[in-house]
Structure 1
């Protein structure tokens, strides 16, 4: 690349001497342009240099470490090894460096994990990208974005994305913010009404930590396990830059986990912190996530980290940078990482540049290879999208990052007394934390991964109408989600000193995160590594350790009759036996999952011996070799002792497999 003779000539005039590649924002991003962004505003650019193999090494490493049939199962890599997996070619780096040098930005740039980070001004960013930045508003928040930018083709061929530019966050709704405020004003009355409810029963039962532990059989009774406070760490990522309120957290713990309150259990803050007023709905989400996770994980797991880099996908005025990229980079650079992270943020896939979404997905695969379980909520609009004003969309809108095949996507259920899918009709509480329907569907960006191929294809063949492809934009070859689900309504949550029950997949996600942290601590006690990327393991269980959710209607999402929406004309997916696009594989059965991790063992050695002896007696009575001779009890017992489920489930199936 030749050095430009005049920077001014390169600012907003396309260079005729080389080909230009344009990047455009989606036309229906839902944000209103308000003004041009001041030229002297600061901005942090992230420029992702393309991997030498388009990320194949990362995906291959993660597949080996997460496949239960692999000899490398749960052999996680270090920060240094993960960085090597993402190294771009020297040629690509050199091309981008020359481009930055031409614009006097190379000295401001630092490179980590194949991504350049550059602190500069809006004016210099506009010159670099041949673009114009504007300030956009959704009626509540303001962000800086460029709806169109240009790159020399030689540079475009070497990079995956430049951000923040054409990818937009999910727009909020000012009316819903006011509704949320009104709920807080009335929260005292709501609390009095909820106090009359029976905990843990029926549709109105409060989902307290003790209730969740009882329903999902979360206990270590009789197991060879001793808790140790600092052995395992869980984390929550901030929703829309909202910092958690420790006073609210302690009020919640005093009410629902007094031992944690007595110990002043809390979170370590990592990052730059939140913005002054992120909005009441974001406060609801952050309060819900931090309280539900810590309340459920304590006392066995006590180390919590709260990551807040100013928001997810939506940088605020004065903080113009891509917060989520910063977060992922920090995770990849840290030698010590939490075992599980709950992230309750998602947006429609079509709001993101496809190359940007794919690169973020690869970064999350790298983090999974480090041994971190990334859990994402699937949203609360069912299979469909929803306009900012609440109007239901008729086309299916997959959610990202939940649609990334290298994370675990969590859907929602309701009626804790007899779990069923959370579908349209559940009373919404507040904005994005209002459960209306468990998010689920099929990605338009990511192909179906091998680990779920059989279950998802079977579901599509049997239960998804052929007409959906034309009527809804359904992608029959896309990654299916959610992967799992959990209870997602009536979580008591303290916000600004008041308690009210709220829900959504923003509740089910930290619930699963707490359960994974407990399983990881159990594994750590036994000298075994963390579970890491969960999906191949979960799908390999064939239902063991999971409660299949078969009740509930279609996840059609919110529908307003006042806006002409008729539910009978809105498409959605149904719950079925096995995996479905509403609740995935189902909700957790904690003790069964522990048994699986123990290779079928449960309780004391005496109990295990008793179970194996019973199984061996049955095998002796029924199993025969091919020539008709009875199989010896001792041989049968030793053959099955170390088989997953041998001392737990499917003895009959094991007998059949023996003959």
Structure 2
């Protein structure tokens, strides 16, 4: 029987090969409108140089991805909370045999010898080492060498084409129009505050300097935010009881790292029973809490995330996903590989033109790429982001789909929405052809904040002179809450009613040259939390810290506590929360923010209004109300 099935499968594959049509006319597959900031075209690439072409195959059932995710995420669904395992995810979305054979046969018919064509084990990538001449003929393009202002060189083309009958079977081809989102470094000594903290170096907390006197009373929360302020703001009083069943993960990217002495200084003042405690560190691709480089730029982010993440969920152990070594760093895809074996084993994993490659060719971590080394936590918070325009639509879409798969498996994924209002990291805005500059007028949304399968977290603040019992405002001191509308992703169904209400009731007075005015794109953030005046221990003293970098891990602590309560009574984790929090069942479970804007790109940005808005989302969480509702679904 086994022989018969194998023989039938072989005949089916051969039939597809025989039935494959002759090569059809080429059509444009991807095109780049501009050269990214910091790069310039240097020269035509050598004709005989070898390119490691990697062809990402289209995955099955992508048209059903949102439907399948909503089926386990909407509170009204009979399958709510019935999350999938990794095997089911991988099997559901793997490319079809027709896709594999179509691309394989195209390469063979173009003169690439079969011995040079490698199909990945999961049949999701096809690889071939081709000369520049071969690749240019294959893709009807020209390859050039581009040089970054840092000195790094990169190979790319401006557009590429594939046969029409092949195009629907190909997601992305590398190298092609895409540029590194992370500039790799040759040695740690080259670190500066302009390039540390990968990826998305522009999104990092801001400090207004050291704090001379600690203010620890509730009436001081408009000047200094401490754990007691957050508990009062969000009615957040809870003691975890199911910690062995629960999990909360915080992601950091080397060289940013925490200092144990700073954790202890913070805990000594705000959570005394945690002095001496550390997060449970999971090293990904050589990541470790380095101590060779210190200062706010190296320790501010991780110290902030862990001090508040640990203090607000005590005694819940916190998992620290320390990602990337000192020499090469890492990308979001490196992290995804490590927490989800199905991504790197079944979905092809990293590509060397965006993602760090291990063993590290720069002489750092010499172990293999980490793949599925740890189970993803039920809640994962990341305080880093790219500008959406840093990445191609195809690359962003392929990664966004992986967050949906994590949601299918029961993980809540949180990302900071950005700190520059409607502008992007480094205050860059979009020009008419998609280029990024300081004097452009186009709003520049963040990624993954615009991915419809993550929860984007904006920032609020206690108004000066107000108490924690009065409404907060959108954060408008030092940083502005990132928010707006995607240029890549369509509006998800769960968000339609809320966004339609905002656009019809409070239509922004901006043109299509400034933001996506179609009314059909993904709006962000989804919710918010305080992001101003945090008291953070950094290098032996306290500093006043601002950023959505603070908002995201704080929301993570609240959702982790809700998971704890559900797990304690035999329910499962809340998973992908967006369909739930936008549903009518959760109306009134957030503190609506109606004051403030998010300036950028020469404008005051959008305005916070009643209901959802592209500044603070649905508002800030009310833990007691959210817990009561989530215990009923």
CA distance in 1 between counterparts of 2:518 and 2:416 reads 20
* 396-405 or 116-125: bigger deviation: 116-125
Residue 595 of structure 2 is matched in structure 1 by 551
CA distance in 2 between counterparts of 1:255 and 1:100 reads 64
Kindly indicate whether residue 387 of structure 2 is the aligned counterpart of residue 339 of structure 1: no
> What CA deviation, in whole Å up to 9, does each residue of 1:257-302 have, x standing for no partner?
3322344444333343279989964653333333332232221x21
CA distance in 1 between counterparts of 2:219 and 2:106 reads 63
CA distance in 2 between counterparts of 1:327 and 1:399 reads 24
Going from structure 1 to structure 2, the CA distance change for 1:93 and 1:423 (only over 3 Å counts) comes to same
CA distance in 1 between counterparts of 2:265 and 2:116 reads 50
In the TM superposition, residue 228 of structure 1 has moved relative to its aligned partner by 3.8
Kindly indicate whether residue 98 of structure 2 is the aligned counterpart of residue 91 of structure 1: yes
Kindly indicate whether residue 622 of structure 2 is the aligned counterpart of residue 589 of structure 1: yes
Contact 1:411 1:485 in 2 (8 A): yes
Return the TM-score normalized by structure 1: 0.71
CA distance in 2 between counterparts of 1:202 and 1:443 reads 37
Kindly indicate whether residue 543 of structure 2 is the aligned counterpart of residue 514 of structure 1: no
Which residue, 59, 75, 82 being the options, matches 1:51?
59
In the TM superposition, residue 500 of structure 1 has moved relative to its aligned partner by 1.9
* 249-258 or 543-552: bigger deviation: 249-258
Contact 1:166 1:352 in 2 (8 A): no
Which residue, 63, 75, 78 being the options, matches 2:82?
75
CA distance in 1 between counterparts of 2:220 and 2:439 reads 28
Residue 598 of structure 1 is matched in structure 2 by 631
Return the TM-score normalized by structure 2: 0.74
Going from structure 1 to structure 2, the CA distance change for 1:30 and 1:110 (only over 3 Å counts) comes to same
Kindly indicate whether residue 401 of structure 2 is the aligned counterpart of residue 383 of structure 1: no
Residue 31 of structure 1 is matched in structure 2 by 38
In the TM superposition, residue 346 of structure 1 has moved relative to its aligned partner by 2.3
Residue 191 of structure 1 is matched in structure 2 by 210
Going from structure 1 to structure 2, the CA distance change for 1:219 and 1:71 (only over 3 Å counts) comes to same
Residue 231 of structure 2 is matched in structure 1 by 213
Residue 323 of structure 2 is matched in structure 1 by 308
CA distance in 2 between counterparts of 1:444 and 1:111 reads 34
CA distance in 2 between counterparts of 1:176 and 1:72 reads 47
Going from structure 1 to structure 2, the CA distance change for 1:594 and 1:490 (only over 3 Å counts) comes to same
The structure number with the bigger radius of gyration is 1
Kindly indicate whether residue 270 of structure 2 is the aligned counterpart of residue 256 of structure 1: yes
CA distance in 2 between counterparts of 1:62 and 1:493 reads 37
In the TM superposition, residue 310 of structure 1 has moved relative to its aligned partner by 5.8
Kindly indicate whether residue 482 of structure 2 is the aligned counterpart of residue 449 of structure 1: no
Residue 574 of structure 1 is matched in structure 2 by 607
Going from structure 1 to structure 2, the CA distance change for 1:466 and 1:143 (only over 3 Å counts) comes to same
Residue 250 of structure 2 is matched in structure 1 by 236
In the TM superposition, residue 372 of structure 1 has moved relative to its aligned partner by 0.5
Contact 1:403 1:479 in 2 (8 A): yes
Going from structure 1 to structure 2, the CA distance change for 1:178 and 1:144 (only over 3 Å counts) comes to closer
Residue 413 of structure 1 is matched in structure 2 by 460
Going from structure 1 to structure 2, the CA distance change for 1:244 and 1:150 (only over 3 Å counts) comes to farther
In the TM superposition, residue 398 of structure 1 has moved relative to its aligned partner by 2.1
Contact 1:135 1:143 in 2 (8 A): yes
Instruction: Answer 1 or 2: which has greater helix percent.
Output: 1
Kindly indicate whether residue 301 of structure 2 is the aligned counterpart of residue 294 of structure 1: no
Residue 626 of structure 1 is matched in structure 2 by none
SS of equivalent to 1:524: helix
> What CA deviation, in whole Å up to 9, does each residue of 1:110-132 have, x standing for no partner?
344x6438698998997887664
SS of equivalent to 1:469: coil
Instruction: Give the number of equivalent residue pairs.
Output: 547
Going from structure 1 to structure 2, the CA distance change for 1:25 and 1:75 (only over 3 Å counts) comes to same
Contact 1:421 1:582 in 2 (8 A): no
CA distance in 2 between counterparts of 1:240 and 1:165 reads 28
Going from structure 1 to structure 2, the CA distance change for 1:19 and 1:117 (only over 3 Å counts) comes to closer
Which residue, 71, 74, 91 being the options, matches 1:64?
71
In the TM superposition, residue 145 of structure 1 has moved relative to its aligned partner by 5.5
SS of equivalent to 1:379: coil
Residue 532 of structure 2 is matched in structure 1 by 489
> What CA deviation, in whole Å up to 9, does each residue of 1:584-614 have, x standing for no partner?
1111111111111233xxxxxxxxxxxxxxx
Quote the RMSD (CA, aligned, Å): 4.3
* 412-421 or 354-363: bigger deviation: 412-421
Contact 1:396 1:474 in 2 (8 A): no
In the TM superposition, residue 410 of structure 1 has moved relative to its aligned partner by 0.6
Instruction: Structure 1: state its 5+ residue gaps.
Output: 1-15, 428-434, 560-564, 600-643, 645-659
In the TM superposition, residue 450 of structure 1 has moved relative to its aligned partner by 1.6
Structure-to-structure mapping, 1:93-172, within 5 angstroms: 93-97=100-104, 102=112, 110-112=120-122, 115-116=124-125, 132=143, 134=145, 136-137=147-148, 144=154, 146-148=156-158, 150-153=160-163, 155-163=166-174, 165-168=176-179
Contact 1:43 1:319 in 2 (8 A): no
CA distance in 2 between counterparts of 1:531 and 1:286 reads 26
Kindly indicate whether residue 505 of structure 2 is the aligned counterpart of residue 462 of structure 1: yes
Residue 269 of structure 1 is matched in structure 2 by 283
Contact 2:340 2:375 in 1 (8 A): no
Going from structure 1 to structure 2, the CA distance change for 1:235 and 1:321 (only over 3 Å counts) comes to closer
